[in-house]
Structure 1
Amino acid sequence: MKNTSPKELKRLTWLSMALLVLSTYLWSQQALFSEIKISSALTIHTALETATIIIFASVFIVCWNAFGNLRKLSSLILAVAFLNAAIFGFFHAISFQGMPGFPGAIDMHKSLSFWLLSRYLISFTLLGLVLQSKDSDISENRSIVSVILGLFATFALTYLVFRFPEILPATYLKDLGQTAFKIHCEMVLVATNALTAILFYRRIRSPDSVNSEGHLKIKRSLLFFAAAMMAISETYFSLYRLPDEIFVVIGHLFQVLAAFAIYRGMVGINIHAPYSGLIQSTHDLQQAADQLLIHKQRLTGVIETAMDGIITIDDQHKIILVNPAAATIFGYAVEDLLGTSIDAVIPMRHRAVHNTHVKQFGERGTTRRKMGTSFDDYYVTGLHANGHEFPIEASISTLMENDKRFYTVIFRDISERKIAKEKLAQYHSELSQLSSALQSIREEERKHIARELHDDLGQLLAALRMDLSLLQRDQSMTEKSRLTVASMDQLLLTSITTLRRIATDLRPRALDEGGLFFALQSLQKEFSQRHGVHCDLIADEEQLVLDDDRSTAIFRIIQESLTNVARHAKAGHVEIHFERAPTTLSLTIRDDGRGIEEGAMNKTRSFGLVGMRERIKALHGEFKVQSTVGKGTQIQIQIPLDQMITNPDN
């Protein structure tokens, strides 16, 4: 909404131009009009200055008090500026030449010093107002401190003017009139006010000119007129020589006109406009009431058709609002629940605790929260009309109205979800047990196959090689036969080596014969030789004295990790580090490879990591993988040593 009408701006512009033309004529006839003297000039000056002071004080009162504790930075600056300007104006008035207690020309210098301080403060405040682009809230305490600091600065300057008037160059000399310093100061004021008027005019004419947001509404067209009048008045004040000339009175009249325009632009629009628009306000009130009724009907429709249950209770825990979904969930009609206690839908054993929780929730000052602190605790228990209890997921909010607290609960029946969650947990437990059983069965099969390969097939191959050795000693064989037998011997040696490797991969004999430490040493050496990757095993044999289940699981985890390093990591160094405490065994496997890309660990086909997790879960341990692309991967495992391992085969 535009802050002024084009017609109003046009009228004020024409009025300003007319007064400027008239003033230009008077200024051109300065020699003629300066001969006109005003009798009782002191009284007229005092009366006009008093009127200006009253208007400035009114502006301060509105900027400071009209909106209670709500205040913007702009309204605070205007309040402080106009209050201090009114104070400077007061001291200007009482220090006129000839006032009791202020005799002599030096008091006229003091008076004009106060005059310049007051007008500079107003002029630069208006200039800052037109240049302001943003506003901000300011607290009551900061507002009070700002006023106190402003008053302190004002009275400090007042003391300096009275006590050390020579600080400022002479502004008035007896029988000679104004000094060049005073006239130059007036010219600066003329230029400042003219610039302010131009900027206000441009701001009004710009397409985005709107009412200033905030508490204090400002009519810029009147402030444009005020700045123009102040520029004209300062020109009059720069032309006079003696205080009883007519130019002084005319300048004061323009000053009062400017002050009145400021009053109308800042004060009148905020105080008088509401009363003049009473009829329009009544119409707006009716429109607001109609809109409120529409919003109420819309809100009622939303509540009535909501799929979730909604209940509102007062501070006495009486139900004052319930929607059909809530009544259906609890097995009642809406009319049956209205006015009853919320205890009607809460099991007997939970009522005391529930009432205490609701009371504490209201006292904390929070506005809303879920019922519970974790996923498993988000539901509470509801009581059906037939006495059946069922789980409810709910959230509660609170609202203060007329010093009364109301609580609103939005909830849904999650019986089916709870059953599904319990079944899912059961399935997960069964799958974990099945995985553990399969791991155990597979390990037994590996052990059995490895034993069969080593003890049976390995012995047969060894015996066959011994027979070949005896055959090689036969002197009657031809050279060709000897070569054939030697080739067969080499093939048998290769077969035995391959058989041993396969048997070791299936189940290293060192794990059964020497324990986990020696099995890991063999795995470390074989991995380094086969893949050319330096591998360090940091552990003591005493640390790795474990039962068969833990030893096998740890060996398989390290074996799978080294396999992943060889296949994917492109690492140059791997470190396997064990630390044992009285109740836990910690294991860290770290490589300097290329790391695992984000999301790769959650791929559905990452069975290696899944198998490791399942093995650790069967040992009641913790499994954590940390990987940074380009910086390697680290696997951290903690296994408790004080818990029994449940064998799924038993």
Structure 2
Amino acid sequence: MESIFQENNFMTLMVIGILIMLAFAMAFVLFVNHSQKRLLKEQMRVQKLAYKHQEELLHATILTQEKERHRIARDLHDEIGSKLNVIFLNVCRLKKYGKADEEIGAITTEVETVVNTTINSIRFISHELLPPTLEEFGLIETIRELQHSYNLIGDLQIDFTAEGENKIDDSLIELNLFRVLQELINNSIRHGKATEIDLKLSIEKEAITFSYQDNGIGFDSTNKAHKKGLGMKNIESRLRIINATYEVNSSLKKGIQVVIEIAQPNSN
């Protein structure tokens, strides 16, 4: 009888021991799981802070670039441009008074051509850095001016359609959309070998929609490396500044299509 009692006690102690071990094992598993969750949460928090810091640095860099572009454009137009205009006028005067001398006439004609070409180049660079039309008349007229410049050269034909309102009220949106357009055109020419670009801008009370399509060689849009390799990082940063969403579609030999949408502040 006593042996049976001892055996029962042993079994009870054994069961209790197993239960305690299971409890410890469960507690350990819960502790590890909780620790992993905390660690993962902390890693996500650190990554989020790092991403936010990177975005802030990128935005600050873009703003600094715009200020520097503004300064250089003004200096080119006001300082160098005005001095070249004076030189051009004086060369014209020399040419007028040197008509009798063929050598002087030839030199002044050559200098006049070089100065005139330089003035046009500076005007083009200045407009690329900061189009005066953008500040004075808005994005639509600036795109039309850009369209005219490219169509006049002849290597690239741009078709542009504007719908809805005539102007975007937010100058920051206009500036960043124009910079994105410049980047896209550069990519179409340099990488896409495009000869035609179709642009559409719709300005409604609810949202602004901008679509871009070229007839270039295109790329595999499912390959993320291709997107990053086409200057999309800078484009993405500018679009984030103005809280825009975008979609890129492309395939080989079918060009690229980009659709950008921006919710108007008063649409909510």
CA offsets, 1:345-401, max 9 Å, x none? xxxxxxxxxxxxxxxxxxxxxxxxxxxxxxxxxxxxxxxxxxxxx973xxxxxxxxx
Letter in 2 for 1:470: R
Distance 2:219 2:227 in 1: 15
Counterpart of 1:328 (choices 13, 25, 28) is 28
Amino acid across the alignment from 1:563: N
Q: How many residues align?
A: 248
Seq. identity, % = 23
Show the counterpart of 1:606: 229
Aligned to 2:77: 454
2:92 alignment counterpart: 469
Distance 1:473 1:534 in 2: 40
Measured after TM superposition, the shift of residue 511 of structure 1 is 0.8
**Counterpart for residue 144 of structure 2:** 521
For 1:353-392, list aligned pairs within 5 A.
Answer: 392=34
Match in the other structure for 1:127: none
Query: How much does 1:327 deviate?
Result: 2.8
- Distance, in Å, in 2 between the alignment partners of 1:469 and 1:540 is 46
Please name the residue that 1:618 is paired with: 241
Structure 1 pair 476–488 and aligned structure 2 pair: CA distance change class (3 A): closer
Partners of 1:629 and 1:559 lie apart in 2 by: 22
Q: Please give the per-residue CA displacement for 1:491-545, whole angstroms capped at 9, x wherever unaligned.
A: 1001101111111111111111221111110111222333523321110483433
1:39-438 equivalences under 5 Å are 321-322=22-23, 324=25, 326-328=26-28, 392=34, 413-438=36-61
Q: CA separation in 1, counterparts of 2:132 and 2:164?
A: 17
**Structure 2 letter corresponding to 1:625:** V
Q: Which amino acid aligns with 1:636?
A: V
CA contact (8 A) 1:578 1:586 kept: yes
The aligned residue for residue 440 of structure 1 is 63
Tell me, what secondary structure is at the counterpart of 1:539? strand
Query: Is the Cα contact below 8 Å between 1:622 and 1:639 reproduced in 2?
Result: yes
Deviation, 1:477, is 6.0
Q: Deviations over 1:295-325 (max 9, x none)?
A: xxxxxxxxxxxxxxxxxxxxxxx9994563x
Query: In 1, distance between residues paired with 2:183 and 2:227?
Result: 17
Judging changes above 3 Å, is the alpha-carbon distance between structure 1 residues 604 and 539 closer, same or farther for their aligned structure 2 residues? Answer: closer
Query: Which of 539, 551, 573 lines up with 2:162 in the alignment?
Result: 539
Give the Cα–Cα distance (whole angstroms) in 2 for the partners of residues 471 and 619 of structure 1: 53
**Structure 1 residues 391 and 442: CA distance shift in structure 2, 3 A:** farther
Residue 476 of structure 1 deviates from its aligned partner by 8.2
Shift of 1:487: 0.9
User: Could you say what secondary structure the match of 1:569 adopts?
Assistant: coil
User: Whose RCO is larger (CA < 8 A, sep 6+)?
Assistant: 2
Inter-CA distance 594–327: structure 2 relative to 1 (3 Å threshold): same
Q: Which residue of 2 aligns with 1:562?
A: 185
- What is the CA deviation profile of residues 397-427 of structure 1, one whole-angstrom value per residue up to 9, with x for unaligned ones? xxxxxxxxxxxxxxx6332221111010011
Match of 1:634 in 2: 257
Partner of residue 121, structure 2: 498
Task: Give the Cα–Cα distance (whole angstroms) in 2 for the partners of residues 449 and 578 of structure 1.
Answer: 29
1:607: how far off?
5.7
Superposition deviation, residue 614 in structure 1: 0.9
Partner SS, residue 413 of structure 1: helix
Deviation at 1:474, TM superposition (A): 2.0
In the TM superposition, residue 586 of structure 1 has moved relative to its aligned partner by 1.0
In 2 relative to 1, CA 572–499 (structure 1 residues): closer, same or farther, beyond 3 Å? closer
Gaps of 5+ in 1: 1-317, 332-389, 393-411, 644-650
| TM-score, structure 1 as length reference | 0.36
Alignment partners' CA distance in 1, 2:99 and 2:249: 68
1:596-638 Cα offsets, whole Å, 9 max, x none, are 1356542596262111111111111102101122222110111
Shift of 1:594: 2.2
2:112 to 489, 494, 514: 489
Q: Is the 8 A contact 1:531 1:566 kept in 2?
A: no
Residues 330, 593 of structure 1: CA spacing in aligned structure 2 closer, same or farther, 3 A cutoff?
closer
Q: Matches of 2:83 and 2:23 in 1, distance apart?
A: 85
Query: Structure 1 residues 632, 330: CA separation in 2 closer, same or farther (over 3 Å shift)?
Result: closer
CA contact (8 A) 2:220 2:226 kept: no
Unpaired segments ≥5 residues, structure 2: 1-18
Secondary structure of the structure 2 residue equivalent to 1:587: strand
In structure 2, C-alpha distance between the alignment counterparts of 1:626 and 1:461, rounded to whole Å: 46
Q: Distance in 2 between matches of 1:640 and 1:518?
A: 22
Change (3 A) 1:604 1:638: closer
Residues in 1 aligned to 2:30 and 2:33: alpha-carbon distance in whole angstroms? 11
Question: In the TM superposition, what is the alpha-carbon distance from 1:577 to its structure 2 partner?
Answer: 1.1
Name the CA distance, whole Å, in 2 between partners of 1:616 and 1:531: 30
1:597 to 212, 220, 241: 220
Name the SS for the 1:630 alignment partner: coil
Q: What is the rounded CA distance, in whole Å, between the counterparts of 1:580 and 1:474 in structure 2?
A: 56
CA contact (8 A) 1:550 1:619 kept: yes
Distance 1:449 1:592, change over 3 A: same
Aligned match for 1:507, one of 93, 111, 130: 130
Tell whether 2:207 aligns with 1:584: yes
Whole-angstrom CA distance in 2 between matches of 1:582 and 1:476: 62
- Larger % of helix: which? 2
Distance in 2 (alpha carbons) for counterparts of 1:582 and 1:542: 8
C-alpha change, 1:476 and 1:581, in structure 2 (3 Å) is closer
- 2:205 and 2:221 map into 1 onto residues whose CA distance is 36
